[in-house]
Amino acid sequence: MHCRFVQIAVDTPLDIFFDYRWLGGDDAALPAVGQLALVPLGKREVIGLIVAVSEQTDVPPERLRDVIALRAQIPPLPEPWLALCRFAAGYYQRPLGEVALPCLPKKLREQKPLALERALKKLAQTQASPSTVASEAPTLNPAQQQAVDAIANADGFTPVLLHGITGSGKTEVYLQAAAQILTQSPAAQILILVPEINLTPQLEAGIRARFPTVPVATLHSGLAETERLRHWLSAHLGQANIVLGTRLAVLASLPQLALIVVDEEHDPSYKQQEGLRYSARDLAVWRANQLGIPVVLGSATPSLESWQHAQTGRYRKIELTERAVQDAALPAIRLLDSGRNQLTDGMTAALMAALKLRLERGEQSLLFLNRRGYAPVLSCDACGWVSNCPRCTAFMVLHLSERKLRCHHCSLEMRIPRACPDCGNIDLQPLGRGTQRVEESLLSHFQQARILRIDADSTRKKGSAQAAFDAVHEGEVDILIGTQMVAKGHDFQNLTLVGVLNPDTALFSHDYRASERLFAQLMQVAGRAGRSAQKDDHQSEVLIQTRYPQHPLFAALKAHDYGVFATALLEEREQACLPPFCHQALLRAEARELPDALAFLQQAALLLAPEGVTINDPIPMALTRVANVCRAQLLVESASRPALQAFLREWMPALRTVKTRVRWTMEVDPADI
């Protein structure tokens, strides 16, 4: 008998490791760092991660408990993966156990290893033949070729910002760079991150068609747990050469990782908004740096952070300025002044005429409105009553087809009142318009047209979003109405008109990132038009209805010039000392009563002397109350990232000692403030 002690990280909010004794026979596997082990914790048995193995311990023998079982069926998690978790834990101020364990598949953390053993058996059966790379790839234009060469021949850590206009063939660059790397080293692994699950089937099909014999794994929250375990294992065992996934895939174990691609790198969904609030893009860059491999950040509208890095030379910028399909041209962007022109059902005559023309020609149109439901508010003209949510500082949205008022923040639903609750007036009016109301107007104006609405309400059922997009691709739809769900990625071949309704609220938002996001969104949605070769002289068009056609954002958009816009915005940010020129952390507090949340933040602000950082005053969040919980925040900023990190390292332990019933969270590099 040989006795050893292991230190184990488990998924708890306590920032400590636990010591256990391991008693194993000579023939049994030895515990190793990175291995998973089943251990007793209080009255439970949980899977933990071994972070150290030693011959001794400071814990007295009577308090030591024994490891129940090692998960020796799979190799230990590799050191670079542990280092990634340690970095994420340190940077985002979370205990290691709360980072490392939740990112493993649930089925791997079960007490009995049945699912694990079944998955391993299945993987052994599907052991692929040595991977070969298919050759049938389209010819690249010179800019694409330059990008592929830069990525595939990279020597060491090479961050590449691939700035390509919509439809310029960025995906083709990723695929051919991957093909070159896999030809050079057949065991290599390539991680491709995408923002949304609804984009994955299209890209996945493209990858499988291009690499028919290469094992591909997918990782996203839409997978069933058994599938997720199998895909995760095939990545961890080095079987899968290509791993395609959403943000959580950046934390997968990939022992042979040779290239990371972050597609649409500017997309807000790379930011995790609960638990470990990480940026998958930032972790991807860190991981590439750690391994000394290339990382490609692709976008038509890069984040200002990445753009700034390219300007200062930290990232190599490669531009794709032409559409990949020959004779496909960028759409002409026109602004329609919705303040000066008369509107019928919220639409200008010019937009109506453009829709009519597309119908006559048998081409498709897309109307983009980032507001679902029928109308954002129901109101009473007689007394001024509006449909406030009783639980939130927000309006209840009118959903006419479901005959409900619904709060989009707390999901509260109620029947539409027959009369004003305050004065009894029976003539209640919808204010403003959402996608359902636009759909209704279009149906009355274009009775012959096939009209389809795609938003979170119309695609609640599993698979319904895909079916809806398929219908558009099959040409079964004349006019598509949608929210941001339709703006991203889709390659609609017969779409020649994009209409944008009311983008104005984002122009004057309290959130300093709103205009950056609006620009990206409009450029994305505009990019849905004119992706195939133009027929005759039918140029595709984007018509934007706005009350502020003079706004500089639109001038840059019309010129399809992201660079001009980004440069102007960076200057503004520098003058205002906003990211990327400063670094931020946000302490958020939630309580039944707002004063309690604010008082906690006030107390938190006084815990430490602010060295090298600025601690702002606590303020209520813009959306102060959600589901009867009041929310407030305290912003800490510094021009120096190390100074901010040093402050947080001292502040977090101090915060943990504060006795309070207020729920609080810390977010480093917050996306919304």
- As measured in angstroms, the least distance from the Cβ of 591 to Zn ion is 17
With contact defined as beta carbons under 8 Å apart, do 7 and 51 qualify? yes
Q: How far apart are CA 359 and CA 450, in angstroms?
A: 10
Say if residue 549 is preceded by a cis peptide, omega within 30 of 0. Answer: no
What is the rounded distance in angstroms from the CA atom of residue 170 to the CA atom of residue 167? Answer: 8
CB of 382 to Zn ion, least distance (A): 5
Closer residue to Zn ion in complex, CB, 406/517: 406
Q: Which is nearer to Zn ion, 101 or 407 (CB)?
A: 407
| Residue ranges with strand state E in 639-669 | 663-668
Query: Of 118, 404, 409, 558, which lies in the binding site for Zn ion, with binding defined by CB under 5 A?
Result: 409
- Which of these, 119, 241, 245, 124, lies nearest to 193 by C-alpha position? 245
Binding range to Zn ion, per CB under 5 A, among 48-56, 420-428, 525-533, 604-612 = 420-428
Count the site residues for Zn ion by CB under 5 A: 15
Residue 207 contacts by C-beta under 8 Å, 6 or more apart in sequence?
A: 175, 192, 216, 242, 244
Q: How far is the CB of 201 from Zn ion (least distance, A)?
A: 33
User: Shortest approach of Zn ion to residue 145 CB, angstroms?
Assistant: 53
Looking at the Cβ atoms of 425 and 532, the one nearer to Zn ion is 425
Considering only residues 332 to 391 of the shown chain, the ones binding Zn ion according to CB under 5 A are 380, 382-383, 385, 389, 391
How far apart CA 375 and CA 533 sit, in angstroms, is 38
> What's the CA gap between 354 and 352, in Å, rounded?
5
528 alpha-carbon distance from chain centroid:
20
* Angle at which helices 304-311 and 562-576 cross, to 10°: 100
Nearer to Zn ion, 124 or 423 (CB): 423
Closest approach of Zn ion to the CB of residue 624, in Å: 12
Looking at beta carbons only, is 121 or 418 nearer to Zn ion? 418
For residue 588, what are the β-bridge partners?
Answer: 633, 665
* CB of 391 vs Zn ion, minimal distance in Å: 4
Closest distance of CB 272 from Zn ion, Å: 23
Q: Which is nearer to Zn ion, 244 or 410 (CB)?
A: 410
Q: Which is nearer to Zn ion, 629 or 635 (CB)?
A: 629
* Residue 392 or 451 having the CB closest to Zn ion: 392
Strand order across the beta sheet in which 18-24 lies: 65-66, 18-24, 2-9, 44-54, 36-41, 69-70
Q: Which is nearer to Zn ion, 260 or 410 (CB)?
A: 410
Footprint on residues 381-400 left by Zn ion (CB under 5 A): 382-383, 385, 389, 391-392
Minimum gap (Å) between residue 426 Cβ and Zn ion: 10
Residue whose C-alpha is closest to residue 617's, from 632, 638, 628: 632
Cβ(163)–Cβ(302) under 8 Å? yes
Give residue for tokens 């709060």: 407
Rounded least distance, CB 646 to Zn ion, Å: 39
Instruction: Report in angstroms the alpha-carbon separations of 290 from 260, 287, 322, 564, 642.
Output: 12, 5, 34, 33, 18
What part of residues 90-109 is at the interface with Zn ion (CB under 5 A)? none
3-class SS of residue 263:
strand
CB of 185 to Zn ion, least distance (A): 53
Q: Do the Cβ atoms of 66 and 20 come closer than 8 Å?
A: yes
Tokens of 426: 């029976």
CB-count burial class (<10 Å; 0-12, 13-18, 19+) for 480:
buried
| Subset of 422-451 contacting Zn ion (CB under 5 A) | 422-423, 425
Nearer residue to Zn ion within complex by CB, 396 or 487: 396
| Interface segment toward Zn ion; rule CB under 5 A; list 244-252, 294-302, 413-421, 554-562 | 413-421
Nearer to Zn ion, 426 or 559 (CB): 426
Nearer to Zn ion, 103 or 392 (CB): 392
Letters for 298-337 (x = contact with Zn ion by CB under 5 A, - = none) are: ----------------------------------------
Nearest to 332 by CA among 534, 162, 169, 481: 534
Among residues 15 and 402, whose Cβ is nearest to Zn ion? 402
CB of residue 376 vs Zn ion: minimum separation in angstroms? Answer: 13
What are φ and ψ of residue 584, in 5° steps? -130, 155
Q: Within the chain, how many helices (H) and strands (E) appear?
A: 17, 31
**Residue whose CB is less far from Zn ion, 193 or 378:** 378
- Interface stretch with Zn ion, choices 175-183, 287-295, 365-373, 419-427 (CB under 5 A): 419-427
- Asked if 420 touches Zn ion (CB under 5 A), the answer is yes
Q: How far is the CB of 414 from Zn ion (least distance, A)?
A: 10
The residue range among 109-117, 221-229, 403-411, 495-503 that interacts with Zn ion, by the rule CB under 5 A, is: 403-411
The token pair that represents 205 in the structure block:
């099909």
Minimum distance of Zn ion from residue 427's CB (angstroms): 9
Q: Can you give the three-state secondary structure of 138-194, one letter per residue? A: CCCCHHHHHHHHHHHCCCCCEEEEEEECCCCCHHHHHHHHHHHHHHHCCCCEEEEEC
Smallest distance, Å, CB 597 to Zn ion? 18
Segment contacting Zn ion (CB under 5 A): 127-135, 256-264, 418-426, 551-559? 418-426
Interacting residue ranges for Zn ion, rule: CB under 5 A: 380, 382-383, 385, 389, 391-392, 407, 409-410, 412, 420, 422-423, 425
